[in-house]
Structure 1
Amino acid sequence: MTRPRTLARAVATSLMFALPVGTALAKDTGYIFVSSENDNAVTVLDGKRHQVLKTIPTGERPRDMKRSADRSQILVIASNSERVDVIDIARLEVVRSIDVGEDPEMFDFSKDGSRIYVSNEEDAEVSVIDVAANKVLAKIEVGEEPEGMLVSKDGSRLYVTSEVANMVHVIDTASNAILANVVVGNRPRRFADTPDGGEVWVTNELGASVTVLDAKANAVKETVTFAPKGFRSDDVTPVGITMTRDGKTAYVTLGRANHVAVVDVATRKVRDYVLVGNRAWGATLNRDESMLVVVNGLSDDISLVDTKTNKVLRSVAVGRVPHTAVIDD
């Protein structure tokens, strides 16, 4: 999901202050960063030849990653180390860490970039972290096993999935109060939202579906179900989701079904199923949206998909049990 570039100054101030004087900035390198849970590392691939440039050691069990708004750093959750590691793209190394509480899994930035919201799975909480001060500002109680995190386009709301409660919590970011608890499908995982912020899509891992929420009403609008040929419903386990900037197409990874669903957002129809690697997990688009990078957690690789043809261009080996990919372009 693309964040507004107005975040740049705030995140640059809050994150860059800790770096040594003279640290170079690197932007639009084309590098593909892939976190690998069992290697305690992030693999960096060249964006053209897709060869491994470097393996960056991190804390234990790196998972969710996002790029800072000034595009100079990659933040990665190290779940078993209870921290977020900050990777400098120019140096390709961890330059600082942020304490984020027990068993963190996913996170998102506040609109001004000064805070991150982190799901703490074992504690059934969301931690609100002051990035510059490396300080927990608040803890918000939510349902069991929170995972997916999404800050709304205007920054006023935080959406959190609770895997056990089959629920999406809608939180007021000004007061940290829960505004609504919306029952969705079985084991909700991750989010995408439309460009106008009017709809929030959430994947249901054990429901073979995506729930479409009306963001204004905090209510379920529709459900999109998936049935790739040759797979039982129990094997269709949607987790990752990303949407094009124009809001016309959503890509949903189908987990054990080893496919990505290409969905027409307006009609809610599945246009295509793309065969990728084993346990298709995360997905992200490059800047011009010509290529979809799919992270395959059980084949230890990524699939590079041509979005014009919906064909896999190639598969590239990465670390063991890859979780998330971020493209620096």
Structure 2
Amino acid sequence: MIQIDFMKRILHLFLLLMAGLAGTAHASFAYITNQGSNSVSVIDTARDQVVATIAVGKGPVGIAVSAGQQRAYVSNVDSQSISVIDTQHNRVVREFALGGSPVGLALSPDGKDLYVTDWFSNRVVAVDTASGEQRYSIATGEAPAGLLTSRDGRFLYIANRDSNDIAVVDLHERKVARHIAVGKHPFGIVLNPQGTLLYAVNVYANSVSVIDTNTNAVTATVGVGDHPYCVAVGRDGSRVYVTNTQGDSVAVIDAHSNKVIATIAVGSVPEGIAFDAGTNKIYVASWGDNAVSVIDAASNKLASSIATGSQSRAFGQFIAQASH
């Protein structure tokens, strides 16, 4: 009888362990830059709770996360540097000087190169993620901001705010292959999951330009809310989410019709935005509320708000699926 009870306890503990591992397998974390408190808030998206607050450089804005490397990279505008976070232990492992005004960040598909837009110097800098050394820089356009790489890593797309275009950089040739004219003051950009469409937010035009990446042509322009800033896409690319900083809202675009189908009220001055496939939720950094608004993508309803740090921005792809 004692042996049976012992075996039952062992089985119970085993089942609890397996359940915990199953939950961990789907865990993901959001890394929110807080410009006013010089920190990054780490949110467990399964529980929607801040699990760590990490001190970084001065004026953190941009963020790029590599699940494979277990690293998060933060652009510190005021200290002109990049902080490197070990995401397994949630601590800064190094900070390297960059100079200029680092804003947007993007990683190459293999994680070996970090691309940084230098706002004041009108260039993009390629940094070796292993050594922190600046490998090369490319002149882009005026006031480069958001950027990302193509799925195959051949091209780099950069939003040039003050020249009102998207620069398409050929990374093999290390030069701008083309400039695509868009609306006034493009800032945040994103690719759909297939990599066939690029969405560029035009801040002063209150619109989003839709670009066919095969032809590098604008195929549609979608009006959104007041002073849009950043953009994210859903799991299958059928929905596009845009933050409206002066409307305190998120516009939801149907990617098939290129029409706004919903407008969701969120926190004050929403900036960075990302979609979490594991939970089917959208996370929105609200600069004015020092918080992150959480939207249920199934219902397009505000689900909760999570207190973070001062002036949350989270400019970039700030959610990464946990690696195992």
2:116 to 109, 115, 118: 118
Residue 318 of structure 1: aligned partner: 308
Task: Give deviations 1:231-251, integer Å, cap 9, x for gaps.
Answer: xxxxx0111111123111111
Matched, 1:256 2:246: yes
1:29, distance to aligned residue in structure 2 (A): 4.8
Farther-moved stretch of structure 1 (89-98 vs 117-126) = 89-98
Matched, 1:194 2:186: no
Q: Which runs of 5+ in 1 are unaligned?
A: 1-25, 228-235
Equivalent-residue separation in structure 1 for 2:165 and 2:150 (angstroms): 17
The answer as to whether partners of 1:66 and 1:326 remain within 8 angstroms in 2 is yes
Residue 168 of structure 1: aligned partner: 166
Larger radius of gyration: 2
The answer as to whether partners of 1:167 and 1:181 remain within 8 angstroms in 2 is yes
Counterpart amino acid of residue 213 in structure 1? I
2:58 to 57, 60, 63: 60
Give TM-score, length-normalised by structure 2.
Answer: 0.86
Q: Which runs of 5+ in 2 are unaligned?
A: 1-23
Q: 1:29 to 1:220 in 2, by over 3 A?
A: closer
Residue 149 of structure 2: aligned partner: 151
Equivalent-residue separation in structure 1 for 2:44 and 2:166 (angstroms): 37
Residue 36 of structure 2: aligned partner: 38
RMSD: 1.8
1:168, distance to aligned residue in structure 2 (A): 0.8
Counterpart amino acid of residue 195 in structure 1? P
Residue 268 of structure 1: aligned partner: 258
**What secondary structure is seen at the aligned counterpart in 1 of 2:313?**
strand
Equivalent-residue separation in structure 1 for 2:195 and 2:83 (angstroms): 29
Give TM-score, length-normalised by structure 1.
Answer: 0.85
Equivalent-residue separation in structure 1 for 2:119 and 2:320 (angstroms): 28
Equivalent-residue separation in structure 1 for 2:190 and 2:244 (angstroms): 15
Matches within 5 A, 1:272-291: 272-291=262-281
The answer as to whether partners of 2:27 and 2:46 remain within 8 angstroms in 1 is no
The answer as to whether partners of 2:234 and 2:277 remain within 8 angstroms in 1 is no
**What secondary structure is seen at the aligned counterpart in 2 of 1:322?**
coil
Equivalent-residue separation in structure 1 for 2:136 and 2:26 (angstroms): 34
2:68 to 67, 70, 79: 70
Counterpart amino acid of residue 124 in structure 2? V
Q: 1:52 to 1:113 in 2, by over 3 A?
A: closer
Equivalent-residue separation in structure 2 for 1:189 and 1:124 (angstroms): 14
Residue 18 of structure 1: aligned partner: none
1:206, distance to aligned residue in structure 2 (A): 0.7
The percent of aligned pairs where both chains have the same amino acid is 29
The answer as to whether partners of 1:27 and 1:72 remain within 8 angstroms in 2 is no
Residue 12 of structure 2: aligned partner: none
Residue 13 of structure 2: aligned partner: none
Q: What number of residue pairs does the alignment pair up? A: 296
The answer as to whether partners of 1:27 and 1:328 remain within 8 angstroms in 2 is no
Equivalent-residue separation in structure 2 for 1:45 and 1:260 (angstroms): 20
The answer as to whether partners of 2:189 and 2:200 remain within 8 angstroms in 1 is yes
Task: Give deviations 1:161-217, integer Å, cap 9, x for gaps.
Answer: 111111111110111111111110010001111233222110001111000112122
Equivalent-residue separation in structure 1 for 2:266 and 2:69 (angstroms): 29
Equivalent-residue separation in structure 1 for 2:197 and 2:65 (angstroms): 24
Q: 1:47 to 1:246 in 2, by over 3 A?
A: closer
Equivalent-residue separation in structure 1 for 2:90 and 2:107 (angstroms): 22
